[in-house]
Amino acid sequence: MPSALSLVPGLQKAPPRDLSLPMKAVLRERPGYASGKPKLMVCINERVPTEGVSCAPRGGCKIHEAIVQALQAEPLDIEVATTRCLGTCDKGPALRLAPNNSWFYGAHVEDVPQIVDHLRSAAGEYRDWLARQPAG
């Protein structure tokens, strides 16, 4: 069955992100309207190769393991979860931190210290937000 993209004349699907490229990080501060604990979602989706690229075969599971290990050594007030697709498959392995809406594309295990740096910053923003909440 043709994909939706193949039904559009002249529209070509972009090739997946080259994994030899450095990770691309889109870092954002915690938005003022946000409430609750930060949550990092790590895509570990594994798709049949004929159906397109996915994050697990590109290293998503290893990145998740490395982040969990790093946070065991340095606990932060951050929830870490795996997920089945963040909708940016061609750029994966993909990770998203909410509520900041920070993204990491094409991450490698070697990038985990940089990711944890941002988690540390997000945990600090959360701590500051908690401190501003009325007692009750």
The contact mask relative to ligand FES for 87-106 (x = CB under 6 A, - = no) is xxx--x-x------------
Point out which span in 4-12, 82-90, 101-109, 119-127 binds ligand FES (CB under 6 A).
82-90
Alpha helices in the chain, H assignment, sequence order: 60-73, 112-132
The contact mask relative to ligand FES for 1-40 (x = CB under 6 A, - = no) is ----------------------------------------
Residues 100/29, Cβ–Cβ less than 8 Å: yes
For the residues of 59-98, what is the DSSP string, one character each? THHHHHHHHHHHHHHS--S-EEEEES--S-GGG-SEEEEE
Q: Which residues bind ligand FES (CB under 6 A)?
A: 43, 45, 54-55, 85-89, 92, 94
